[in-house]
Amino acid sequence: MASPRDGLEAVETKDSAGRRGSSGVEVVFPSDPDVPAPLCPHGPTLLFVKVSQGKEETRRFYACSACRDRKDCNFFQWEDEKLSEARLAAREAYNRRCQPPLSQRQCVERYLKLIELPLTQRKFCQRCQQLLLPDEWERHHEHQVMGDISITQLRRPSQLLYPLENKKANAQYLFADRSCQFLVDLLSTLGFRRVLCVGTPRLHELIMLTASGDKKSNIKSLLLDIDFRYSQFYMEDSFCHYNMFNHHFFDGKAALEVCRTFLQEDEGEGVIMVADPPFGGLVEPLAVTFKKLIAMWKEGQSQDDSHKELPIFWIFPYFFESRICQFFPSFCMLDYQVDYDNHALYKHGKTGRKQSPVRIFTNIPPKKIILPTEEGYRFCPLCQRYVSLENQHCEHCNSCTSKDGRKWNHCFLCKKCVKPSWIHCSICSHCALPGHSCEGSKDGCFICGELGHKRSTCPNISTSKRANKAVRKQKQRKSNKMKMETTKGQSMNHTSVTRKKKRRKRVHQYLCS
Query: Does 172 participate in binding ligand SAH (rule CB under 6 A)?
Result: yes
Residue 154's contacts (CB-CB under 8 Å, 6 or more residues apart) are 111, 114, 115, 122, 160, 233
> What x/- string results for residues 178 through 217 when contact with ligand SAH is judged by CB under 6 A?
---------------------xxxxx--------------
Question: Residue 427: which of ligand SAH, Zn ion, none does it interact with, CB under 5 to 8 A by kind?
Answer: Zn ion
Query: Does 226 participate in binding Zn ion (rule CB under 5 A)?
Result: no
- 48, 124, 173, 192: which one contacts ligand SAH (CB under 6 A)? 173
Q: Quick one: 55 or 97, whose CB is closer to Zn ion?
A: 97
Query: Does 334 participate in binding ligand SAH (rule CB under 6 A)?
Result: no
Question: Residue 450: which of Zn ion, ligand SAH, none does it interact with, CB under 5 to 8 A by kind?
Answer: none
Burial class of residue 373, CB neighbours in 10 A (0-12, 13-18, 19+): exposed
> What x/- string results for residues 402 through 421 when contact with Zn ion is judged by CB under 5 A?
--------xx-xx--x----
Rounded to the nearest whole angstrom, what is the least distance from the CB of residue 511 to Zn ion in the complex?
A: 21
Question: Residue 174: which of Zn ion, ligand SAH, none does it interact with, CB under 5 to 8 A by kind?
Answer: ligand SAH
User: What is the separation of C-alpha 348 from the centre of its chain, rounded to a whole number of angstroms?
Assistant: 19
- Rounded to whole angstroms, the Cα distance separating 235 from 237 reads 5
- Find, among 283, 375, 23, 391, the residue nearest to 383 by Cα: 391
Q: How many Cβ atoms sit within 10 Å of the Cβ of residue 179? A: 24
> What x/- string results for residues 400 through 439 when contact with ligand SAH is judged by CB under 6 A?
----------------------------------------
Question: Residue 200: which of ligand SAH, Zn ion, none does it interact with, CB under 5 to 8 A by kind?
Answer: ligand SAH
- Rounded to whole angstroms, the Cα distance separating 467 from 410 reads 32
Could you tell me if 390 and 402 are in contact, meaning their C-beta atoms sit under 8 angstroms apart?
yes
Hey, is 316 helix, strand or coil? strand
**Per-residue three-class SS string for 160-202:** HCCCCCCCCCCCCCCECHHHHHHHHHHHHHCCCCEEEEECCHH
Q: Quick one: 21 or 278, whose CB is closer to ligand SAH?
A: 278
Hey, is 428 helix, strand or coil? coil
Q: Which residue is nearest to ligand SAH (CB)?
A: 199
Site for ligand SAH in 243-262 (CB under 6 A): 243-245
- Find, among 46, 110, 74, the residue nearest to 492 by Cα: 110
Rounded to the nearest whole angstrom, what is the least distance from the CB of residue 120 to ligand SAH in the complex?
A: 31
Site for ligand SAH in 50-79 (CB under 6 A): 66
Quick one: DSSP state of residue 141?
T
Query: Does 491 participate in binding ligand SAH (rule CB under 6 A)?
Result: no
Question: Residue 317: which of Zn ion, ligand SAH, none does it interact with, CB under 5 to 8 A by kind?
Answer: none
Q: What's the chain's length in residues?
A: 513
Could you tell me if 315 and 359 are in contact, meaning their C-beta atoms sit under 8 angstroms apart?
yes
Rounded to the nearest whole angstrom, what is the least distance from the CB of residue 224 to Zn ion in the complex?
A: 17
Helices 253-264/283-299 angle, 10° precision: 70
Question: Residue 201: which of ligand SAH, Zn ion, none does it interact with, CB under 5 to 8 A by kind?
Answer: ligand SAH
Query: Does 337 participate in binding ligand SAH (rule CB under 6 A)?
Result: no
- Rounded to whole angstroms, the Cα distance separating 234 from 239 reads 6
Query: Does 73 participate in binding Zn ion (rule CB under 5 A)?
Result: yes
- Rounded to whole angstroms, the Cα distance separating 23 from 50 reads 7
User: What is the separation of C-alpha 79 from the centre of its chain, rounded to a whole number of angstroms?
Assistant: 28
Rounded to the nearest whole angstrom, what is the least distance from the CB of residue 246 to Zn ion in the complex?
A: 9
Q: Quick one: 233 or 245, whose CB is closer to ligand SAH?
A: 245
Q: Quick one: 402 or 491, whose CB is closer to ligand SAH?
A: 491
Burial class of residue 198, CB neighbours in 10 A (0-12, 13-18, 19+): buried
Interface residues with ligand SAH (CB under 6 A)? 66, 170, 172-175, 199-203, 225-227, 242-245, 276, 278
Interface residues with Zn ion (CB under 5 A)? 40, 42, 64, 73, 394, 396-397, 410-411, 413-414, 417, 424-425, 427-428, 431, 438
